[in-house]
Structure 1
Amino acid sequence: MNLNSYIDHTLLRPDCTTDDIEQLCTEAKEHQFAAVCVPPFFVKLAAELLEDSPVRIATVVGFPMGYASTPAKIEEIKRAIDEGADEIDAVLNICALKAGNINYLTNDIDSMITATHLKGKQIKIILETGLLTMEEVEQAAQICLDKEADFLKTSTGFNGGGATLEMVSFLGRLAGGKAKVKASGGIRTREDALGFIEAGAQRLGTSSGLKLIGAV
């Protein structure tokens, strides 16, 4: 299987440099990965580097905690898209979910999806499943589906563990074709990648993209 088209070639370390992003984009272009996923600070640079490439530009919003105010997240989304982002990976408000404030959570999700779709771009809502009960995962995922998120994404990779085969399969069943599933966090081998795709993932977020395709 050609894994390249499944991979979001990701670099979100807080200490990443311009040289790191340039290398990431060069690798993504050479291997025709689906996208690069970079910090908001580097969206404009990535867009310039990949201007003549089919590789998409993804960035993160409300990352990695999710508890920024909704208006702040919306401004992040608008700025990222204005600077060249094609896809937004946004963390929902985990605190609101845990507090049972479903009205706030719903507005947070709806607002982020609407802001992204109004610009004609795609959004992946990060559930951070490692911090949630299965009931909370289902509740949050259903809101995302009702509001027409493009992807349900498992994890940031920074909190509460990464993707699991069981969770990817569960999200795929919940989505029922209404949204795609992105597995992220802890995907470090080709065997991992193939397992997640078999479980139902249509996109893989990983900093080990070259290893997955056997390029290193």
Structure 2
Amino acid sequence: MAKLIDHTLLKLDATEEQVKTLCEEARTEKFATVCVRLGFVEQAVELLKGSDVGVACVVGFHEGTHSTEDKVNEAKAAIAAGATELDIVLNWPLLQTQPPSYAAILSELRALRAAAPSPAVLKLIFETSQLSPQQIVAATALAAAAGLDCVKTSTGFCGRGASVQDVRLMKGALEELQRRGWEGAGKMFVKASGGVRSVGELKRVVAVGAGRIGTSSGVKIVREARGEGVDGQAASGY
């Protein structure tokens, strides 16, 4: 279960001491990554040396409406600082224009892929609470066309977080693209982020296709799974 979790700290007022604690927890619990803002990437990389915990950095967070140039520069800086994964916010208002600005979105995503080539893992954050089902499917197709690795539900800073319906739709869209011959779609995964705070919530989104979970409640979740209380001690009557 721990290897499904990106252990996340994205508050604007986060401190170096909090990032230190985040990394210590991630090392202890063997989470997939820690996910931080650009200013903390170097610190996280240093603290996690010798572990198999990756460092993810958000790009264009959290509105997604930054210029392509700014996003590309942020992506390059994160990779240079040692980030192994980038969680990039889609410029989702471009999906809501009439007609939708698909070409502009695809151009930006391809520029980001070029700036952070494989083996860097690129995840595209949709902000699903703001999008229709049709727009979610379109965003999934654009991410696949640009060669990204993952589609992600939300930032956790705008509207509701992940829902079972969102994850099921995104996973289904990837499977349909693969069925139609989009080979890259078959290698992509779905990340559910925002509002996943318990073992039950984690299991529900994994059951419908989530391959990764973004949460600031990772320690709470794994302790709950082990039958421990919040202090790490055995929970009475659990």
- Higher radius of gyration, 1 or 2: 2
1:205 alignment counterpart? 214
Aligned to 2:71: 73
SS at match of 1:193: helix
Could you say which residue in structure 2 is the equivalent of 1:128? Answer: 127
Rounded to whole Å, the distance in 1 between the matches of 2:75 and 2:91 is 15
TM-score, with structure 2 as normaliser:
0.87
Structure 2 contact 106–145 (Cα < 8 Å) conserved? no
Report the Cα offset of residue 91 of structure 1.
Answer: 0.5
Q: Which runs of 5+ in 2 are unaligned?
A: 176-185, 231-238
Deviates more, 1:164-173 or 1:81-90: 164-173
**Which residue identity does 1:24 align to in structure 2?**
L
Deviations 1:78-98 (A, max 9, x none): 000000100000011112221
Give 1:46 shift.
0.2
**AA matched with 2:215:** T
Aligned to 1:94, which of 92, 95, 101?
A: 92
Matched residue, 1:35:
33
Cα deviation digits, residues 8-49 of structure 1 (max 9, x gap): 000000001000000000000001000000111100000000
**How many Å apart are 1:115 and its aligned residue?**
1.6
Question: How big is the shift at 1:113?
Answer: 2.1
TM-score, normalization: structure 1?
Answer: 0.96
Provide structure 1 residue ranges, at least 5 long, that are not aligned to the other structure: none
Alignment length, in residue pairs? Answer: 213
1:47 aligns with 2:45: yes
Which residue of structure 1 lines up, in the alignment, with residue 165 of structure 2? 166
Amino-acid identity (%): 39
Distance (whole Å) between structure 2 residues aligned to residue 137 and residue 87 of structure 1: 22
Deviation at 1:150, TM superposition (A): 0.4
**Partners of 2:152 and 2:93 in 1: CA distance:** 18
Whether the 8 Å CA contact 1:92–1:108 is kept in 2: the answer is no
**RMSD of equivalent CA atoms:** 1.0
Which residue of structure 2 lines up, in the alignment, with residue 181 of structure 1? Answer: 190
